[in-house]
Structure 1
Amino acid sequence: MLKDILKVAIPVSVENLIANTGTFILTIFLSQLGDKEVAINGIANQGSFLVILFLFGLNTGGQIFVSQYWGKRDEKGIKRTSTLMIYTSLLISLAFFILTFFFPKQFIGIFTKDSAVLNGGITYLRVISLSYFGLALEISFRTILRGIERAIIPMESYIYGTVLQIFLAYAFLKGVAGFPKIGLMGIAIATTIARFFIPVYQIIRATIQNVPYTFSLSHVDRAFVKKFLEFATPTTMNEVAWSLGMTVYGIIFGRMGVNVYAARNILSSFENYVWTFTFGLVIATSVTVGKFVGRSEYDNAHRFSKRMLMINSSIGLLSAVIIMIVYYILLPTFKIDSQTKVMLTGAMWVMLIGAPIKAFNGSAIVGILRAGGDAKFAFFIETLSMWLVGIPITLFGAFVLKLSLPFVYLLTLSDEVIKAIVVYFRIKSDKWIKNVTITEAEAISLLDKVNEMEER
């Protein structure tokens, strides 16, 4: 069992670490160009973020089917699911491509009224919008490959893709190795090329290894489309509601002052590395839970889930402790005033307290409830706890009580506490286990067996 978990968890963690590091290096490159260029890239990233958000939600719903079909080794089911994941992802990317390619000025105008950024960002955004189709393929295949325990392939693709992106960005920025020196546009071209390279690599490796996937729609019928959307829609809406909530939190911190916002941004950088370590376990948990449910091994799914809740919480705490040590080592190098340092340090200790709770919830929502087929419940509890508890309490603390950053940040954990209590009792019951792979004939046969046992 441990081997199966690590087979997914380690590659996913490495993949996230590489992605974060690549983004950090590109940020350094951009900082050498100027504020306008940084702003243009930041706005373009908002478009990419929205695309990734919808794609992640949709494909997380698809992974429910992939993992459960993988558990019963139903390759036809995996192929049928993969087809829908690929084409619905491409449709989402097409919608955002139309918005940002044909109406770039209007999109940029949502975020800024600066004429230099508006005019300078049009071509940049149009180039980046082409990469959305690469993102659609990449996220679909990454999810499929993780769901059938081939997570090593996406990890490899990210290693090579990130190296390629950094090399091309540097070459275009500096005009080396025969490349033209084209500044900011070089970042856009490098990003777009890398976003297509990654899925092409994944598709080639998947084909060589005879991974069960297909681009053919012949396997798909209307009934399955309806069933797919029944689970994919809640996971997609879950991600949208969550991201909107996080945006509101960002606005709250931004309105609290420049020092608070600066401290919050530094805090986020450290937090990202905590979730890099725990997210791999979350994905591994979802794959294993899906396998158990797909094989109708419901007792094993139940025992494994409760065990992983405790393990992921412990890893979350341990990761936060390590990050705290790194924080204190780096703190003297931060060029921020003493008041900001005090606020930041207090918020970091709150992060340490909240890390095991957030890790618990990540494992429960994404790793267990969604994988077990309980996507609707996961959507409702995560959305309602954030919008009815977390956000109102945080707004009250920030603008009525006028609390400092550490205490306001602590209030953002209120919905996490409520959510942890509810999902614990949900997982303790058996209501969350829903085998999405069972056909009507199999369900009737299973019911007959149960009735026979009761008669005996």
Structure 2
Amino acid sequence: MKRIKNNFLLEKNFFKTVFAIVLPIAAQNVISFGVNVMDSVMLGSLGDVAISAANLGGQPFFLLMGFGFGLSSGGSVLIAQYWGKKDMARIRKVMSLSMKFVFVMAVLFTLVCTLMPSAVMRLFTPDLEIVTAAASYLQLAALAYLPYSISNNYIMSLRAVEQVKISAAIYGVSFFVNVFFNYGFIFGKFGFPALGVRGAAVGTVLARCTELLLALLYMYFGEKRVHFRLRHVMEFDKELLPDYIRHSLPVVGNELLWSFGVTVISAILGHLGSVYVTANSIASVANQLALVFVAGVANAAAVLTGKTIGEGNRERTRKVANTLLFMAVCIGCISCVLLLLGRAPFLSLYKVSQQAYDAAWHILTVVALVQLCAGYEITCVVGVLRGGGDTRTSFIIDCGCQWLIGIPLALFAGFVMGWPAHLVYLCMRMESPAKAICCALRIHSGKWVRKVTLD
């Protein structure tokens, strides 16, 4: 018992703080999961081509999310530690820098995807029917990039100062907006035109604009802790720019390479056949559900480790990390069991071909087994190491294992050996146990605890 107390935090107030962060973020992730399920179920009723087109049409957005998450997370590394010092002026400066970079990136993505959607989609699949449908979806969906990027950046910055409830509220409203307009525009209900795949894009754009409107309303009328306003984005202060770039670049590179790696896997499966694109689309939704609580714990780890370092308590930081990593392992084991038991009822939601159903079943089995390692390594990479200021090591572990282990094995399995999709997916996910081992070694060394704030 003494050893447990020396290595873990057992304080009641600590767990209250953890769950105050985890539960709203988990709720937000459940809402996002619900949106994806409803989208895929509605589009799945139109056939394999529709669901594949929406999946591939969403890949540029996935890359943009990688950029946005990296820029926002890099800022959050600094914000969390300044939060520990209660330095609100510098928190606002970091938020301003982060918002500027996110804005520029979103505009670039929007221009490329609206002006040349077919060229972008041909990078993912040679199937002309899917390219045509996906390009029509992408050209509309790209209009959601800018409002999403601004609102998401603001929400992620607030998480670093332990303001998380607003995100669940905003995404809760967005869920109903998305489902209502998707249903209306996909099938031509409520007097709307029946647009099929393009209808899903219209619903997404309206939902993202709703999120931005609600975020701005909260910024001006509800947020009382940081007092960040849009006028701060127009200000430019060089004081924190070097720190922001130094800590954001590894995270941006990490998220970009990781996101690009996932799109490479989608491209590999796309070249194996549209059936496997459909199966991977379904499995991706299940994987998102499995990581709902892990993502919450990872966010809590990033905030609380950064805050504790900012307070100057190194020993407590180590205990915070150990406790949250143990929680993530337990959640990963539970997710594995639930996924294995829930494959049949989950797949029954989709009206797809038998071949797509069988491929999805096998991929879901792999997704379930990977959870045994994923909870630990995701919480460590996204949470503990980044919150601790060790963004460079986080980048090396995450992208190194993906690009030196996962992607080469997937390319070999898919194009050299000609293995089926679930074995290609298994090879790709071998990166997860490799990451877990590297993370455990780094945590044990204690070298990940780094102060990144100015005095």
Say yes or no: TM over 0.5: yes
Q: What code does the residue aligned with 1:18 have?
A: I
The Cα offsets for residues 43-83 of structure 1, whole Å up to 9 and x where unpaired, read as: 54233222222111111111111211112211112111111
Once structures 1 and 2 are overlaid, which stretch shifts more, 38-47 or 306-315? Answer: 38-47
Tell me how far 1:131 sits from its aligned partner.
Answer: 1.7
Once structures 1 and 2 are overlaid, which stretch shifts more, 207-216 or 260-269? Answer: 260-269
Cα distance change on mapping 1:226 and 1:401 into 2, 3 Å: same
Once structures 1 and 2 are overlaid, which stretch shifts more, 427-436 or 167-176? Answer: 167-176
Paired residues of 2:63 and 2:260 also in contact (CA < 8 A): no
Tell me how far 1:209 sits from its aligned partner.
Answer: 2.8
Q: Are 1:209 and 2:223 counterparts?
A: yes
- What is residue 308 of structure 2 aligned with on the other side? 292
- What is residue 195 of structure 2 aligned with on the other side? 183
- What is residue 62 of structure 1 aligned with on the other side? 75
Query: How much identity, in percent, do the aligned residues show?
Result: 25
SS in 2 for 1:222: coil
Tell me how far 1:30 sits from its aligned partner.
Answer: 3.3
Cα distance change on mapping 1:196 and 1:339 into 2, 3 Å: closer
Give RMSD over aligned pairs. Answer: 3.2
Structure-2-length-normalised TM-score: 0.85
Once structures 1 and 2 are overlaid, which stretch shifts more, 426-435 or 387-396? Answer: 387-396
Q: Are 1:128 and 2:141 counterparts?
A: yes
Tell me how far 1:13 sits from its aligned partner.
Answer: 1.1
Q: In structure 2, which of residues 314, 317, 320 is the aligned counterpart of residue 301 of structure 1?
A: 317
- Structure 1 segment 35-434 matched on structure 2, within 5 A: 41-111=54-124, 125-173=138-186, 177=190, 179-184=191-196, 185-207=198-220, 208-212=222-226, 213-215=228-230, 216-217=232-233, 220-253=236-269, 264-329=280-345, 341=358, 348-397=364-413, 408-434=424-450
Cα distance change on mapping 1:181 and 1:267 into 2, 3 Å: closer
Once structures 1 and 2 are overlaid, which stretch shifts more, 232-241 or 242-251? Answer: 242-251
Q: Which of the two has higher C-alpha Rg?
A: 1
Tell me how far 1:269 sits from its aligned partner.
Answer: 3.5
Distance 2:431 2:34 in 1: 30
Tell me how far 1:138 sits from its aligned partner.
Answer: 1.6
Tell me how far 1:381 sits from its aligned partner.
Answer: 1.8
Paired residues of 1:394 and 1:411 also in contact (CA < 8 A): yes
Tell me how far 1:221 sits from its aligned partner.
Answer: 2.2
SS in 2 for 1:164: helix
Q: What code does the residue aligned with 1:158 have?
A: Y
Cα distance change on mapping 1:263 and 1:108 into 2, 3 Å: closer
Cα distance change on mapping 1:164 and 1:346 into 2, 3 Å: closer
**Where does structure 2 lack aligned partners over 5 or more consecutive residues?**
1-13
Cα distance change on mapping 1:389 and 1:21 into 2, 3 Å: same
Paired residues of 1:83 and 1:214 also in contact (CA < 8 A): no
Cα distance change on mapping 1:267 and 1:196 into 2, 3 Å: closer
- What is residue 450 of structure 1 aligned with on the other side? none
Paired residues of 2:52 and 2:274 also in contact (CA < 8 A): no
**Where does structure 1 lack aligned partners over 5 or more consecutive residues?**
440-456
Q: Are 1:5 and 2:21 counterparts?
A: no
The Cα offsets for residues 326-381 of structure 1, whole Å up to 9 and x where unpaired, read as: 2255578887659974x766655544432121111001100111111111111112
- What is residue 4 of structure 2 aligned with on the other side? none
Paired residues of 1:43 and 1:108 also in contact (CA < 8 A): yes
Distance 2:283 2:53 in 1: 24
Paired residues of 2:52 and 2:278 also in contact (CA < 8 A): no
Distance 1:383 1:121 in 2: 28
Tell me how far 1:435 sits from its aligned partner.
Answer: 1.6
Distance 1:93 1:259 in 2: 31
Cα distance change on mapping 1:263 and 1:240 into 2, 3 Å: same
Distance 1:138 1:71 in 2: 24
SS in 1 for 2:454: coil
